[in-house]
């Protein structure tokens, strides 16, 4: 119940924050109400702060609406049509309130959060004090040209209006009652086309979900409001509409669950006789086995010869078995095989010692962008930054209708007992795969993302003996701005660690801004999630990518890489070496193992100046027929009997800016690296580097 209350408070916070900047206030006795005057003369109460010395009871239109302790605040989310105010406990003071003047023409008030209204007047209030005067300053009122509020526009929608949702729930309630009373539930479901009704309801919700962003945009365009406030209002309308639609979806899901249970109950009742016969057959089989064993033992005992005292019995005593022989034998005389195996438990270390002062990691103090965070420091590996940047570089190919996109990031974490805070690292990106659904306003990682994460975690923990976990997830809001919605909070809650939930980090990127603005959202110390208003600074994914490239150049060490041109007898000054590290070699081996020919991959990396000249450092090799938009320095071709003209033809449109071609021969299991000179494959074989793929495998094992 505590978690539900906390989530409900977060929901109220997200819905009311866009209006707090425009809210009016009324204060008395150290108590401050934040509200917005509506077109019909009513007021939307958003928040109450209690700085008095005693707790207060909130009254709206005479009804008791809860209490606020001294020194605390509460988000209300109610609309008052007549009056609102507060009362101290009976022994402390009197009832303070504001009486509202009704407008001449009644229009529907914009309710931020729907809640059940109390029907009875409070009988606990004492004699009210003189009516407080309404503040003279007024906040801007946003409405359409015809005077309607944005929620009045939503009430005209045939799916999202309160009347439509109430009618939908009432129809489901009728079906549910009929299903509960039906003796033959399957016949009732078929006769009323209930499954077809559910399928149509789901289809309608999906269509409406896709329309909500466009509907919100049209409402905001029709509003008479400043341009800089439109984006905030648009996000609020979208979230409000999604919450309305969620009521409909929850009712549909609950009804589908009831229908499934009813069908399963019928199937189980029909299968009772079959299950009973199976149990009877098992019992009979066990009885027969016991009977056969008893007959077998009895027959052996009957055939066994008995020796009397006068019979020919060996006089030499049988040798007494040793203690070891007794220990290694069973009751029937057959020797037992005893294997004693030394067991050890592998303890995965919680450590960031190799990360803290590592120049390959970008360090971010959370105090730079928020006041309250359970995470103290974030360390992002340069290769991780480049993978995230390249992911969104692909999405920018369609600037007119960019899709939301995202990924998961694995890393490590340590807990500081003294400060109750965490340090986390972001090291390895896990992409969702082809089964994920990414659309303009929809982000669905798919069900198999958990399997991909679990597989990668097992490999990282096995190879490093370090405790890797899911430490971050990343998604984009193309053109919508940087914020954390209710849906994002739900994902954050679902992904958090069971025992240490507060170390999980979330990145939100607006890829359509000039520098790709990025916000970092974390858990606070109390377990709640930070919002956009908590952020004092946004980061730039573009600037982080530039830092990652530069850190690669400054931290490159030839000792940690395999030079594909080391077997060449001659070297060019501008392509003296092609360096592959562990990760890029593993990428290459995973690509060439598939029986494909042609251009099968792209080498991503950078140029590094070393003592032997300019070397091409490959940081990763991606399997793709389509060329990535940034970072390409070479390509990978798989062939059996290809000639140089064939290879030249394959890369004819790609030679302008790549420095080399890696050619894998599946027949010989060799990799030949050919430099490109002036846009053409070099024909001088003295410049070629040859290596057996098995040697690359052996090198990676030694490096690990």
CB atoms within 10 A of CB 521: 24
pLDDT for residue 125 = 34
Record the tokens describing residue 566, joined without a space.
């080391």
Q: Answer yes or no: pTM beyond 0.75.
A: no
pLDDT at residue number 422 = 95
Q: Using CA atoms, how far apart are residues 55 and 494, in angstroms rounded to an integer?
A: 35
Burial 92-121 (b: 16+ CB within 10 A, else e): ebebbbbebeeeeeebbbbbbbeeeeeeee
Determine contact, residues 520/505, Cβ cutoff 8 Å. yes
**CA angle, 156 as apex, 152 and 160 as ends, to 5°?**
95
Closest of 260, 520, 585, 219 to residue 373, by C-alpha: 520
pLDDT of 295 reads: 84
Cα separation, 702 vs 698, whole angstroms = 6
Query: Of 520, 516, 547, 540, whose CA–CA distance to 531 is shortest?
Result: 520
Write out the H or E segment, with its range, that includes residue 452.
helix 449-464
Cα separation of 61 and 131, whole Å? Answer: 14
Query: Which residue, 252, 69, 232, is CA-closest to 169?
Result: 252
Compute CA distances 92 → 74, 83, 126, 132, 380, whole Å.
Answer: 21, 21, 11, 19, 55
CB 648 within 8 Å of CB 680: yes
Contacts of 295 (CB under 8 A, 6+ apart): none
Tell me what pLDDT residue 190 has.
Answer: 87
Q: What is the pLDDT of residue 329?
A: 41
- State the 10-residue block means of pLDDT for the chain, 704 residues long: 49 47 75 81 83 86 83 80 81 66 43 32 34 34 55 79 87 88 86 88 86 81 70 78 86 88 69 66 87 80 47 41 40 39 48 88 94 95 88 70 83 91 94 65 69 87 87 90 89 89 94 91 94 93 89 78 91 89 85 86 86 86 78 87 81 80 90 89 90 89 67
């Amino acid at each position: 119940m505590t978690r539900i209350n906390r989530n409900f408070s977060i929901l109220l916070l997200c819905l009311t924050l866009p209006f707090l900047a425009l809210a009016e206030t009324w204060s008395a006795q150290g108590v401050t109400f934040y509200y917005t005057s509506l077109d019909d003369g009513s007021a939307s109460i958003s928040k109450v702060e209690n700085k008095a010395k005693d707790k207060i009871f909130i009254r709206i239109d005479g009804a008791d609406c809860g209490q606020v302790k001294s020194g605390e605040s509460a988000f209300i989310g109610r609309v008052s049509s007549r009056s609102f105010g507060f009362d101290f406990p009976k022994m402390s003071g009197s009832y303070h309130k504001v009486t509202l003047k009704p407008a001449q023409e009644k229009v529907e008030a914009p309710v931020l959060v729907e809640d059940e209204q109390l029907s009875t007047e409070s009988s606990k209030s004492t004699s009210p004090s003189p009516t407080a005067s309404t503040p003279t300053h007024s906040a801007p009122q946003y409405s359409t040209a015809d005077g309607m509020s944005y929620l009045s526009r939503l009430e005209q929608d045939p799916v999202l209006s309160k009347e439509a949702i109430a009618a939908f729930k009432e129809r489901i309630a009728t079906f549910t009652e009929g299903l509960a009373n039906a003796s033959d539930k399957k016949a009732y479901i078929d006769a009323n086309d209930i499954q077809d009704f559910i399928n149509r309801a789901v289809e309608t919700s999906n269509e409406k979900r896709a329309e909500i962003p466009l509907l919100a945009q049209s409402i905001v365009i029709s509003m008479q409001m400043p341009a800089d406030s439109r984006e905030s209002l648009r996000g609020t309308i979208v979230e409000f509409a999604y919450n309305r639609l969620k009521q409909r979806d929850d009712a549909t899901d609950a009804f589908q669950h009831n229908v499934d249970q009813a069908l399963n109950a019928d199937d189980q009742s029909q299968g009772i006789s079959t299950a009973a016969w199976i149990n009877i057959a098992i019992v009979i089989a066990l009885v027969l086995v016991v009977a056969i064993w008893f007959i077998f033992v009895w027959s052996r005992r009957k055939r066994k010869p008995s020796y009397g005292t006068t019979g020919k019995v060996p006089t030499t005593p049988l040798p007494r078995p040793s203690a070891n022989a007794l220990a290694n034998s069973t009751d029937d005389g057959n020797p037992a095989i005893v294997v004693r195996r030394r067991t050890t438990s592998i303890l995965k270390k919680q450590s960031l010692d190799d990360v803290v002062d590592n120049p390959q990691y970008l360090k971010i103090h959370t105090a730079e962008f928020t006041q309250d965070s359970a995470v103290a420091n974030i360390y992002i590996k340069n290769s991780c930054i480049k993978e995230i940047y390249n992911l969104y570089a692909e999405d920018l190919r369609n600037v007119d209708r960019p899709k939301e996109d995202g990924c998961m990031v694995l890393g490590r974490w340590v807990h500081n007992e003294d400060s109750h805070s965490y340090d986390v690292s972001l090291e390895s990106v896990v992409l969702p795969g082809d089964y994920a659904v990414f659309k303009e306003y929809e982000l669905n990682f798919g069900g198999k993302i958990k399997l991909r994460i679990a597989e990668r975690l097992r490999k990282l923990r096995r190879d490093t003996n370090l405790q890797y976990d899911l430490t971050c997830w990343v998604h984009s809001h193309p053109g919508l701005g940087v914020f954390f919605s209710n849906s994002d909070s739900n994902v954050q809650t679902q992904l958090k660690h069971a025992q240490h939930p507060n170390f999980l980090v979330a990145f939100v990127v607006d890829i359509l801004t000039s520098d790709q603005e990025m916000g970092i959202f974390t858990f606070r110390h109390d377990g709640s999630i930070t919002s956009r208003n908590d952020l004092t600074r946004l980061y730039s994914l573009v600037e982080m990518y530039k830092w990652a490239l530069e850190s690669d150049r400054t931290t490159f060490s030839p000792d940690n890489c395999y030079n594909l041109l080391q077997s060449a007898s001659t070297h060019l000054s501008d392509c003296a070496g092609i360096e592959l590290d562990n990760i890029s070699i593993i990428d290459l081996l995973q690509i060439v193992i598939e029986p494909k020919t042609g251009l099968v991959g792209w080498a991503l990396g950078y140029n590094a100046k070393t003592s032997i000249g300019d070397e091409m450092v490959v940081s990763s090799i991606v399997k793709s027929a389509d060329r990535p938009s940034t970072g390409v320095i070479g390509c990978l071709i798989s062939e059996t009997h290809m000639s140089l003209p064939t290879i030249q033809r394959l890369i004819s449109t790609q030679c302008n800016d790549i420095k080399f071609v890696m050619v894998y021969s599946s027949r010989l299991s060799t990799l030949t690296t050919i430099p490109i000179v002036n846009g053409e494959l070099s024909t001088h074989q003295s410049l070629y580097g040859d290596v057996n793929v098995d040697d690359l495998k052996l090198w990676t094992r030694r490096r690990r």
